[in-house]
Amino acid sequence: MWRFGVEVSTLWKKVVCAAYGLDNNLLFWDWQRGPSASHFVKVVSSLYDSNPHTKKILDDGLQVVVGRGDRVRLWLDICCDGIPLSEAFPRIFSLSMDKEGSIQNFGSWRNMSWVWKVYLRRNVFDWEKDQ
């Protein structure tokens, strides 16, 4: 799983992504998002999904480094207390116009500071602002 995120241009990753309809820029083995998954892909994914010991080792040992922000998906890859932002902030995620965009799609650098710009389908209500 680590190699899948780190090795962007390797042949084996290109083959896996092409075979299962995955985006080559993905950081994580995301078999559920592809149109099909073989028994092999499901077994590899289940090592993470169903085994708490393996999941803990990977969660404790892996860290996302944003870098340019072109490979890290804001809502799906960035974690807050061990869960993606889409699950930590479901209300805002449901209003987001870009649910799969990378971090670079959600802001820009201005005067050495990052300025966030998250486009929502509508303005938030007062009771939603705390979220």
Residue ranges making up the domain that contains 74: 66-131
Secondary structure element (H or E) that encloses residue 58, with its range: helix 52-61
Q: What is the pLDDT of residues 58-70, one digit of tens each?
A: 666 666 677 777 7
Regarding whether 83 and 125 lie in a shared domain, the answer is yes
Q: What is the pLDDT of residues 70-87, one digit of tens each?
A: 778 889 887 777 788 899
Residue 98 pLDDT class (50, 70, 90 cuts): very high
Tell me what the pLDDT averaged over the chain comes to. 78
Of 104, 43, 46, give the one whose Cα is nearest residue 70: 104
Counted domains in the chain: 2
Distance CA 108, CA 110 (A): 6
Instruction: Give the pTM.
Output: 0.57
Q: What is the pLDDT of residues 7-57, one digit of tens each?
A: 778 888 888 778 777 776 766 665 555 455 666 666 666 666 676 776 676
SS (H, E, C) 72-123: CEHHHHCEECCEEHHHHCHHHHHHECCCCCEHHHHEEEECCEEEECCCECCC
Regarding whether 123 and 96 lie in a shared domain, the answer is yes
